[in-house]
Amino acid sequence: THFNQDNNMAHKTQQDIFEHNRLWAEQKLQADPHFFDTLSAAQTPDYLYIGCADSRVSAEEMMGMAPGEVFVHRNIANMVNALDINAASVVRYAVEHLKVKHIVVCGHYQCGGILAAMQPRVHHAEQALGLVGEPLLRPFVLVVLSAPA
């Protein structure tokens, strides 16, 4: 672990991360010897969570869900638009194959991605897509879409 004097935060090294992963797997197996077998058998989440790639909070932790209970897609500013084949593939897979019942689109306050997207600026990627001069999206905090019963 390295300590950054500029912001008083400890930064994990790759070795720290691998060691934590090893310990985590060991703890999971001690608590339930079949944990990974059960988890790898299938996933049947009721929820697709689409959220910001912000590193400060994980979707599962925030929602109180265990591994396998929520299918997660994260990107900058939790964007879903017709031009994003990755997001479209996630939604299609979640709805058609996993049969999720709810789609949660969750943002957060002071999202840098939302603030950047709201600025009418010329960026090379936007210019290539013909999106110059217009904000890419409008801010929102939480939208839950549910399948009809």
* Catalytic center residues: 52, 54, 56, 108, 111
**SS3 state at 53:** coil
Counting Cα atoms < 13 Å in the Cβ hemisphere of 138 gives: 1
CB atoms within 10 A of CB 135: 14
* Dihedral class, residue 116 (left if φ above 0, else alpha if ψ from -120 to 50, else beta): alpha
Distance CA 48, CA 107 (A): 14
